[in-house]
Structure 1
């Protein structure tokens, strides 16, 4: 009897998800084919906004910067998170060693950017400590790299925590057997720990991939995509075109492209992981 009505039980939740997620996306997709300033009625213009995307030099800069964020996220927050997790695992006081890395994750990206803004400014603390005269937030591509380091400071902790959970779930028997066979630290990690952590690593890398593609708050607070437009990411371009320039049609086209890129990257990555 219950099985007969099982679809009715989940229908309210499905409708809620559809209303909150899919309906806004479909509306955005529709606006991407229109000229709309938020005041006058939307005018259908077909694929003009997408053609404009292909000719916009600022978009190429946004794509380049977004790719830098993606590559940097794989190397820094994920790589360093794994390193800290391995070094602090199974040692006395390891939990306290991990606490400082977790604290920045409690801050929002905007709050974190407010903390780092005076540090990275031209007359800020970073230049004084390093004894250099570098405009960390004005020079291209130094500004993107500097913001990526701020992103690393925030995201390292959560990646480390996920890897620690993965390490704790590894059976003790293979590790003890490898030690009895004389495996050193590197061989133990490479041939035993790392293969057993591969499923969790796929999840961590996938989450980091999606997060890096949607990077917005840190970039917006620190540089607003400037100077000019040389530090914009796709998310910042979408925001500026939509809410600053009030070109909702073009901004929606950027949003659709960002959604497609994020979905395609996630699909290809997960497909590869499943195949492996």
Structure 2
């Protein structure tokens, strides 16, 4: 008959079972549990708010995208998603969205970096930065009203061209594609450049002047200093600027809707404008929900892919 370990320990006057944790370890465990409960309590309101404001509407939108657009909706599977890839208007909006993404990344990032470099440590730098950043404080609808005054057939742009005896260059800026999409991208970039300038100025102020002076003493020219010293150290800021521009390009809506309402016809629609048109103007909530889901997936995938490629190398020269 086998003798258990506990019986042997009992004969020798030893306590049964394994070694007990010291009181200090128990105290640390209780303190850690208390800290976690407190942290969870503080995070709970934010988690409930995100669930109520973001997750619950998205789940309902996803659910609604699988139903028809009639008064008494019926389940129709992926029909709304298949229509997205066969409707020429929606394919056109996808093309316009890609144009907006490219323009929203290239123009604000390039102009913001250029203006930040030109106005860094100059006498009129504060005034120049203020003039560039003021449009960022204006709402998108107000920006659209300003540019509508400039771009109409009898607007400021055509008036200035006629005043300079360049009447041959006048045009109907908002009536022909792709010129209307391009001028709207320029208008959006005029507003978005301000925040890029601010962020790049912060990055430039973090570069040690001694590094640039040492490179100059070693014979490095302005372009070499910019390429090998300034640009690598601006990489963390560039990640933020490009990421913001990417998302702004994908969800462009207010400026387009005020200037052209997606027209003429549906030539200047983006996915965000098409989502609104399908849901509220054409009364096709199922199709609008499908576009909303696809747009959300595109934004998340694009942001995740970009950040996944950039963030691990952040800070490396």
- What TM-score bracket applies, with the shorter chain setting the length? over 0.9
In the alignment, does 2:293 pair up with 1:256? yes
1:225: Cα distance to partner? 0.5
For 1:8, the equivalent position in structure 2 comes to 41
Larger RCO, structure (CA 8 Å, separation 6 or more): 1
The answer as to whether partners of 2:84 and 2:91 remain within 8 angstroms in 1 is no
Return the TM-score normalized by structure 2. Answer: 0.83
Superposed structure 1 runs of 4+ greater than 4 Å apart: none
The answer as to whether partners of 1:241 and 1:248 remain within 8 angstroms in 2 is yes
In the alignment, does 2:118 pair up with 1:87? yes
In the alignment, does 2:200 pair up with 1:169? no
Q: Within 1, Cα distance between the matches of 2:291 and 2:47? A: 27
For 2:88, the equivalent position in structure 1 comes to 57
1:182: Cα distance to partner? 2.6
Please give the residue correspondences for 1:37-76 in structure 2 after superposition, counting only pairs within 5 Å.
40=71, 42-76=73-107
The answer as to whether partners of 2:143 and 2:255 remain within 8 angstroms in 1 is yes
Q: Within 1, Cα distance between the matches of 2:246 and 2:100? A: 9
Q: Within 2, Cα distance between the matches of 1:66 and 1:4? A: 44
* CA deviation vs aligned residue, 1:144-176 (integer Å, no higher than 9, x gap): 011111111111111111111111122333223
Q: Within 1, Cα distance between the matches of 2:149 and 2:118? A: 32
| 1:112 aligned counterpart, secondary structure | helix
Return the TM-score normalized by structure 1. Answer: 0.95
Q: Within 2, Cα distance between the matches of 1:111 and 1:97? A: 22
* CA deviation vs aligned residue, 1:160-217 (integer Å, no higher than 9, x gap): 1111111112233322321222322211111101001111101110011001100000
The answer as to whether partners of 2:239 and 2:310 remain within 8 angstroms in 1 is yes
For 2:281, the equivalent position in structure 1 comes to 244
* Aligned Cα root-mean-square deviation (Å): 1.4
Larger Rg: 2
In the alignment, does 2:233 pair up with 1:233? no
Where does structure 2 lack aligned partners over 5 or more consecutive residues? 1-30, 162-166
Of 48, 63, 72, the match for 1:30: 63
Of 38, 45, 54, the match for 1:21: 54
Q: Within 2, Cα distance between the matches of 1:47 and 1:104? A: 42
The answer as to whether partners of 1:31 and 1:42 remain within 8 angstroms in 2 is no
Q: Within 1, Cα distance between the matches of 2:76 and 2:224? A: 60
| 1:44 aligned counterpart, secondary structure | coil
* CA deviation vs aligned residue, 1:234-268 (integer Å, no higher than 9, x gap): 11001100111121110010011111111111111
Where does structure 1 lack aligned partners over 5 or more consecutive residues? none
* CA deviation vs aligned residue, 1:55-74 (integer Å, no higher than 9, x gap): 10011111111111111122
